[in-house]
């Protein structure tokens, strides 16, 4: 979650190995929309990474578009964090996902 005064910001990414060339922005919003994105992520067991600088950069990407090459390294670090968290929790929900189903990631 990025907070600029009362203008909270959240961005959600998704990556499906067999479908996407790179992670895609699937939701972005400020204020109450950001709160809803974060709430949906929490309800669905999606790991949330607080990174205001990355969230701001990703907020300029059009919905359903892949992230720009310039952000690959930063997003890869977040994906690595998410994969480690998922491995630690080793939840049955994560195990039930099919091959190539990447976790959604809320970067806020």
Query: In the chain, how many domains are there?
Result: 1
Cβ atoms of 49 and 82 within 8 Å: the answer is: yes
**Residue 1 pLDDT > 60, yes or no?**
no
Domain that holds residue 81: 2-107
Q: What is the pLDDT of residue 45?
A: 86
Distance, in Å, from the CA atom of 23 to the CA atom of 58, rounded to the nearest integer, reads 11
Cβ atoms of 81 and 47 within 8 Å: the answer is: yes
CB neighbour list of residue 48: distance below 8 Å, 6 or more residues apart = 1, 38, 41, 42, 106, 107, 108
Q: What is the pLDDT of residue 30?
A: 96
In this structure, the strands spanning 105-107 and 7-14 are antiparallel
Q: Calculate mean pLDDT across residues 96-103.
A: 45
* CATH (domain of 59): 3.40.1690.10
pLDDT in tens, 40-82: 999 998 888 899 999 999 999 999 999 999 999 999 998 888 7
């Amino acid at each position: 979650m990025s907070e600029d005064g009362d203008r909270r910001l959240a961005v959600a990414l998704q990556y499906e190995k067999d479908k996407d060339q790179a992670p895609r922005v699937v939701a972005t919003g400020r204020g109450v929309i950001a709160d809803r994105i974060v709430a949906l992520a929490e309800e669905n067991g999606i790991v949330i990474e607080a990174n205001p600088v990355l969230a701001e950069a990703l907020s300029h990407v059009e919905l359903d578009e892949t992230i720009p090459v310039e952000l690959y390294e930063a997003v890869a670090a977040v994906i690595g964090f998410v994969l480690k968290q998922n491995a630690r929790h080793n939840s049955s929900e994560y195990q039930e996902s099919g091959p190539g189903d990447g976790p959604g990631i809320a970067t806020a």
